[in-house]
C-alpha cells in the first residue's frame, strides 16, 4: 500500500487529496510556489516544500517535482488536475525514479492527449465519433478543403488542446480562414504544438461525460454520467449527476461506450470519457486522463470516494466494488464559484477575501482552499470554490442549490454566485431540458441585482446587541 504521496498541485484539489490521504493513513507532501506560501493546502498537508519563487515554474517542472518526491521519501505522486496532470513526461519520470504515478501510463496519456489518435482508437473500438478529418491538417489550404468536404459549421481544434482552449467554431469558409492562424498560435503557446484538426460542429448538443475507474487487473466500472451542458466559451459552470435529460436506455448506452473506450486503450486509474448528444445520436469527444474538477458529484450520487479509489488502484489493489454494486441515488449539482464579475464579461476579480462563510445543512458540500483573510493570487485560474448539493429529486436539488448559494458569503471579490442563482430560477433550466447554447440564449440572466450584505461593523454591533439581550 502507498505510504506517502507528493501532491503536485495547489488549491482546492490539493486540499481534497490531502483529506483522502488523512482518511487512509497516508502521509501527504504539499508543494508550493512563493505566491502560495499561505495557501490552505500548505497548512493542511503533513509536509510542505517550496518549489519555486515564480508562481508557475515549480508546478510545471516535472523533474523538480519527482526529485522532491524522492528526497522526501514519497512512494507516489498525485498530479491532481490541470498543470502537469496530463503530461506524459511526468508519468515517465516517475517511472524512471521508482515513484508511482497516480494516473494512467505515459503511453495512454500521450495516446489520448493526441485527439486525432484518440479518434482513431475509438473508431477501432466501435465507439461512435464525430465526422472529421482522418488526422491533422497540414496547412490552411488543406483545412479549407476539408472544411468544404465536411460541411459547415466545423470545429477547428488543437490536437493537444484541453480545458476549452485551442478550439474555434467556424460557420463558414471565411471564418475558418480567419481562425486558422489564431488557433495555431494559441495551440503553440498553450500546448507547445501547432497541430490542429477539423470536426463537424454538432450544433447545440448536450455535453455528457462518464466517470470511469479501472484497475491493473483489467476491471473497468463507470460511476454513471454527468451533464456539463451549462457552460460558457467551452468552460463548464454547473455540472449535474446524473443527467436529468437522459432516458434509462441512453444512460446505459453511453456508460457502456465509456467502459468500452477505457478497455480499448488499456486504461488504468480514474478517467472521464466525454460525449456529445444531439438528436438522439451520441458522439465521442475526448478522454480526460486525470481526475476531473467535477468528480465530486459522481461521489455524491454513488457514495464512492474517487480519490481513495485512485490511491488503491495505484497501490496495485483491485477496485473495491464491481459494477453491480454501484447504484446512483438522487441528483447532485456542482457550482464552480469563480472569482469573476459576470456583469463585466466575466472579468477575473482577484484580491483579498474579507469574509468567507461556507453554507451547510443536509446535502451540502464545499471543496475549497479559501478562507477569510486569504488573498486570491492573479497567477492561476479564477475558481475559488466548488459548491455541491445533493437531494433525492431534481426539484429538491435545485431548491437546495438556491438555498446554499444564498447562504454562502464570499466578500472582497466578485463571484459568479448570484448569476448561478438566476440560472436555477430559470424555467428552461428547471425543466431539465437544456444544451450547450443555454448561456448564450439567456443573456437576460446577467441582469440580476447585486445583493448588499451588512458591513463587518454592522454585523459586530448586531451580534453584541443580541448577546446583551440574551438572544
Query: What are 95's three cell numbers?
Result: 517511472
> Contact at 8 Å (CB) between 226 and 236?
no
Residue 214 CA, chain-centre distance (Å), reads 19
Q: What DSSP character marks residue 129?
A: B
Render 197-250 in DSSP notation, one character per residue.
EEEE--SS-EEEEEEEEE-TTS-EEEEEEEEEEEEETTEEEEEEES-TT--HHH
Taking alpha carbons only, the member of 438, 408, 434, 440 closest to residue 421 is: 408
> Contact at 8 Å (CB) between 310 and 245?
no
Q: Are β-strands 269-278 and 383-391 bridged in parallel, bridged antiparallel, or unpaired?
A: unpaired
Q: Which residue among 16, 119, 290, 336 is the active-site one?
A: 290
Active site residue 232: no
> Contact at 8 Å (CB) between 335 and 387?
yes
Query: What are 371's three cell numbers?
Result: 478562507
Taking alpha carbons only, the member of 449, 409, 406, 408 closest to residue 424 is: 406
> Contact at 8 Å (CB) between 283 and 275?
yes
The length of the chain, given as a count of residues = 471
Query: What are 121's three cell numbers?
Result: 482508437
Look at the block and give the residue holding cell 466559451.
Answer: 233
Active site residues: 290
Amino acid at each position: 500500500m502507498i505510504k506517502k504521496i507528493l501532491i503536485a498541485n495547489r488549491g482546492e484539489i490539493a486540499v481534497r487529496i490531502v483529506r483522502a490521504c488523512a482518511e487512509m493513513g497516508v502521509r501527504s507532501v504539499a508543494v508550493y510556489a512563493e505566491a502560495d506560501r499561505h495557501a490552505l493546502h500548505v497548512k493542511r498537508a503533513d509536509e510542505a516544500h517550496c518549489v519555486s519563487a515564480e508562481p508557475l515554474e515549480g508546478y510545471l517542472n516535472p523533474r523538480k517535482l519527482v526529485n522532491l518526491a524522492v528526497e522526501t521519501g514519497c512512494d507516489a505522486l498525485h498530479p491532481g488536475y490541470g498543470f502537469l496532470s496530463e503530461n506524459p513526461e511526468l508519468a515517465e519520470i516517475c517511472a524512471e525514479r521508482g515513484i508511482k504515478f497516480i494516473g494512467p501510463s505515459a503511453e495512454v496519456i500521450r495516446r489520448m492527449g493526441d485527439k486525432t489518435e484518440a479518434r482513431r482508437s475509438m473508431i477501432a473500438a466501435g465507439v461512435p465519433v464525430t465526422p472529421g478529418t482522418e488526422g491533422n491538417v497540414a496547412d490552411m489550404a488543406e483545412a479549407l478543403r476539408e472544411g468544404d468536404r465536411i460541411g459547415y459549421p466545423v470545429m477547428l481544434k488543437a490536437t493537444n488542446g484541453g480545458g476549452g482552449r485551442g478550439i474555434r467554431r467556424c460557420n463558414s469558409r471565411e471564418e475558418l480562414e480567419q481562425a486558422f492562424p489564431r488557433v495555431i498560435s494559441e495551440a503553440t503557446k498553450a500546448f507547445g504544438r501547432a497541430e490542429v484538426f477539423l470536426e463537424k460542429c454538432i450544433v447545440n448538443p448536450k455535453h455528457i461525460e462518464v466517470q470511469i475507474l479501472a484497475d491493473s487487473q483489467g476491471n473497468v466500472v463507470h460511476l454513471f454520467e454527468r451533464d456539463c451542458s451549462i457552460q460558457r466559451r467551452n468552460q463548464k459552470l454547473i455540472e449535474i449527476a446524473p443527467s436529468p435529460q437522459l432516458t434509462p436506455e441512453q444512460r446505459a448506452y453511453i456508460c457502456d461506450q465509456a467502459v468500452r473506450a477505457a478497455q480499448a486503450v488499456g486504461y488504468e486509474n480514474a478517467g472521464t470519457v466525454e460525449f456529445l448528444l444531439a438528436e438522439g445520436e451520441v458522439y465521442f469527444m475526448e478522454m480526460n486522463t486525470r481526475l476531473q474538477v467535477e468528480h465530486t458529484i459522481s461521489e455524491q450520487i454513488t457514495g464512492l470516494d474517487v480519490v481513495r479509489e485512485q490511491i488503491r488502484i495505484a497501490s496495485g489493489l483491485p477496485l473495491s466494488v464491481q459494477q453491480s454494486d454501484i447504484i446512483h441515488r438522487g441528483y447532485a449539482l456542482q457550482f464552480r464559484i469563480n472569482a469573476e464579475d459576470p456583469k463585466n464579461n466575466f472579468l477575473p476579480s482577484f484580491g483579498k477575501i474579507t469574509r468567507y462563510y461556507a453554507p451547510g445543512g443536509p446535502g451540502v458540500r464545499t471543496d475549497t482552499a479559501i478562507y477569510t483573510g486569504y488573498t486570491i493570487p492573479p497567477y492561476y485560474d479564477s475558481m475559488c470554490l466548488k459548491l455541491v448539493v445533493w437531494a433525492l429529486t431534481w426539484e429538491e436539488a435545485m431548491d437546495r442549490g438556491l438555498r446554499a448559494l444564498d447562504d454562502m458569503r464570499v466578500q472582497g471579490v466578485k463571484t459568479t454566485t448570484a448569476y448561478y442563482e438566476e440560472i436555477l430560477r430559470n424555467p428552461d433550466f428547471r425543466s431539465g431540458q437544456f444544451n450547450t447554447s443555454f448561456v448564450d440564449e439567456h443573456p437576460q440572466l446577467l441582469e440580476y441585482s447585486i445583493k448588499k450584505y451588512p458591513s463587518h461593523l454592522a454585523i459586530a454591533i448586531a451580534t453584541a446587541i443580541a448577546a446583551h439581550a440574551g438572544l
